[in-house]
Amino acid sequence: MSVRTNIDALRSELNDHNYRYYVLDDPVISDAEYDRLLRELQSLEDAHPDLITNDSPTQRVGAPPLDGFGSIEHRIPMQSLANAMDTDELLAFHDRLIRRLGEEKAIEYIAEPKLDGLAVELVYEHGKFVNGSTRGDGTTGEEITQNLKTIRAIPLALRVETQSAPALLEVRGEVFIRKDDFNKLNKQQEANDKPIFANPRNAAAGSLRQLDSSITATRPLSIFCYQAGVVEGVTFETHSEFLAALQNWGFPVNPEIKVLSGIEDAVIFHSELESRRNTLPYEIDGSVIKVNNYALREELGVRSRSPRWAIAGKFKAQQETTVVEDIVLSVGRTGAVTPVAKLVPVKVGGVMVSNVTLHNQDEIDRKDIRVGDTVLIQRAGDVIPQVVKVILEKRPEIASPFKMTNTCPECDHDVYRPEGEVVARCQNLSCPAQVKRRIEHFVSKNAMDIDGVGEKLIDQLVEKKRIKSVDDLFRLTLDQLSGLERMAEKSAENTISAINNSKATTFHRFIHALGIRNVGEHVSKVLEKAFGGNMEIFMKTNVEYLEAIDEVGPIVAETIITFWSDETNVNIVNNCFELGVTLESVKNETEQIFTGKTFVFTGSLEKITRKEGKEIVEERGGRAAGSVSAKTDYVVAGENAGSKLKKAEESGIPVLTESEFMDLIK
């Protein structure tokens, strides 16, 4: 095969995987495998720079920083939407349309979630992405082509197998950050002493407006496309047809979008969406109800700022005000001292909030939060609650600025905040708070998984100085335990046997359990592979070796070296082994028998948990989903399986019993 053919094949394979991942939501390879293909392409292109094209998947890493953004005039203005604040206003919108259209026509609507992100326009000429811009003032936006190219969900070239590429295609959509990605991003920002983002929308905005696109490339931006600009060479009768074409071309389209036969259904869509708002993986602030038929849209026309044929149904705000009763300091596993506001409990978005992290002194200063203040609290789904702002009008006269103490609230040791960093840390490794958190982490589900050693027990053990470091857990005796509060003899026995049972573990669980900074569950697995599960070699490793491992960067490498250069850590680990910890040897590469297959586990299984089922499937290259859909290949049903089993049977999806499933993997 010539290099060119090889490169072409790799590009088209990578593009296919992107399409499966972002558009079909049905990936068939792991992220690691994707990265391997990408690196293969990268090294071929490095050797043959003349073969690099603008739309190669390697061109998403960012370009040299700009001095400023250029501007782009939108051929069709990017308008905004009129709002409907309640059901009556939605109905009034429909009445207005009927009046304009002059007859009692049934209007077909198309309803979409209103994403809380940033609108962008993407321009494709003859199937190639040529430029992209922000909405700006609606007429002129900023040219952010390089930044948009870093978003893997945006196709750099249209897929044109099933339909040809139009001469010109302008696609509009919303760039946003998913809630879980947002939480991760803020954790990273905190760990790297960078300012945290107030909400996913701000994080998306900050990321899109970077002059250095290599920074944008590190941000977890997503997109859903929902609107056409100028399209030359193809016509569509309805919006739903256009959205279907968008998907075929490779654009992610929100799967929640529905065609509805009348305004009543739109009202139902709106209220159902509002009730599910917190369970969606991204933030939305309403629904958008649009006329589906393009000829009707034409007839209705636009106003100066918004089209007549669409309306945004707004949701109730997920913000509340409450009072800060106190600000306390909490000490984490790594000694980070975090200020936490104790609030008069308040229900926000259906959940009681009584604590909210204030992150660090800089954040407190920036928002000027004081004890006694009335604050505006915001939460959205699983986004961590936060203080939006202080209601200054309500500040009591006596409220004075809050200053974190320079000593640890738990051990009185000095708290140190390095120059230029935002996080203050207690430097005392034997600080009881840190010891407790380290042990809590050590015993946790995804680490050593020691059942029955909970927070209360750990508190007592540390306070009574029975445990100073994790190895002491393996020295605990029945006598020591049974003397403790709420520890009957039977539960003491159970605890001891749970501790003993945990000793047979795996390399990655043990490494994760040690709580080395920046070495989480995933990196631990990467290390297990890289070191073949050999602890001795891992303990004596060096920076060069570590940095040569994929997915291990200089920061992780350095923290690992620092960890092992501390003799206390080496001793603790050696003690664990002397006290009976053994690491199961790493399994040989599991045969990828489930590649491309999606499983759904339902009902109660006997031999394995559903989580284990998922792991078994994923180890073998498959995927486990939470609900039955057209993409499901097998349903594994245990006792008392309900609607999922029913749906599988109705749709003719093969159903396996647990033991049939176990036979498959033998």
Contact set with ligand IVH (CB under 6 A): 79-81, 112, 114-115, 119, 135, 174, 226-227, 288, 307, 310, 312
> Is 114 one of the annotated active-site residues of the chain?
yes
Return the bridge partners of 338, or none: 330
Nearer to ligand IVH by Cβ, of 119 and 377: the residue is 119
What's the burial of 568, exposed, middle or buried (CB within 10 Å: 0-12/13-18/19+)? exposed
For residue 226, the minimal CB distance to ligand IVH (Å) is 4
Query: Residues 6 or more apart from 518 whose CB is under 8 A from it?
Result: 191, 555, 556, 559
Residues making up the chain, counted from first to last: 666
In eight-state DSSP terms, residue 57 is G
Q: Which amino acid is at 35?
A: D
User: CA-to-CA distance for 565 and 254, rounded, in angstroms?
Assistant: 50
Nearer to ligand IVH, 171 or 310 (CB): 310
Q: Return the number of the residue (112 or 472) whose C-beta is nearest ligand IVH.
A: 112
Q: Is the Cβ of residue 93 or residue 226 nearer to ligand IVH in the bound state?
A: 226
Question: Among 71, 171, 73, 72, which residue's Cα sits nearest to residue 127?
Answer: 171
The distance of closest approach from Cβ of residue 132 to ligand IVH in the complex, given in angstroms and rounded to an integer, is: 14
To ligand IVH, the closest distance from the beta carbon of 315 in angstroms equals 12
In whole angstroms, how close is the CB of 380 to ligand IVH at the nearest point? 15
Whether 426 and 411 have beta carbons less than 8 Å apart is answered as yes
At closest approach, how far in Å is the CB of 78 from ligand IVH?
6
Comparing CB distances to ligand IVH, the nearer of 217 and 289 is 289
Q: Which is nearer to ligand IVH, 79 or 428 (CB)?
A: 79
Extract the tokens encoding 35.
């990265």
Where do we find the tokens 């149904």?
A: 313
Choose between 206 and 520: whose C-beta lies nearer to ligand IVH.
206
Evaluate whether 359 touches 369 at the Cβ level (below 8 Å): no
* Distance of closest approach, residue 612 Cβ to ligand IVH, in angstroms: 39
Token output for 19? 């399409």
Beta bridge partners of 321: 376
Residues 6+ apart with CB under 8 A from 443: 449, 450, 453, 458, 473, 502, 513
Query: What phi and psi values does residue 407 have, to the nearest 5 degrees?
Result: -120, 155
Q: Which residue is nearest to ligand IVH (CB)?
A: 119
Please give the Cα distance from 463 to 72 (Å, whole number): 64
> Looking at beta carbons, which pairs linking 583-587 to residues 24 or more positions away fall under 8 Å?
583/505, 583/506, 583/507, 583/510, 583/533, 583/535, 584/504, 584/505, 584/506, 584/507, 584/533, 585/533, 586/506, 586/507, 586/528, 586/529, 586/532, 586/533
| Residue 16 C-beta: closest distance to ligand IVH, Å | 27
CB 215 within 8 A of CB 71: no
**Minimum distance from CB of 96 to ligand IVH (Å)?**
16
Nearest to 121 by CA among 160, 154, 167, 163: 154
* Cα distance between residue 117 and residue 102, in whole Å: 36
> Is the Cβ of residue 80 or residue 627 nearer to ligand IVH in the bound state?
80
Closest CB 108 distance from ligand IVH, rounded Å: 17
Contact 511, 546 (CB under 8 A): no
Q: Which of 105, 114, 394, 529 is catalytic?
A: 114
Residue 114 or 370 having the CB closest to ligand IVH: 114
Give the active site residues. Answer: 114
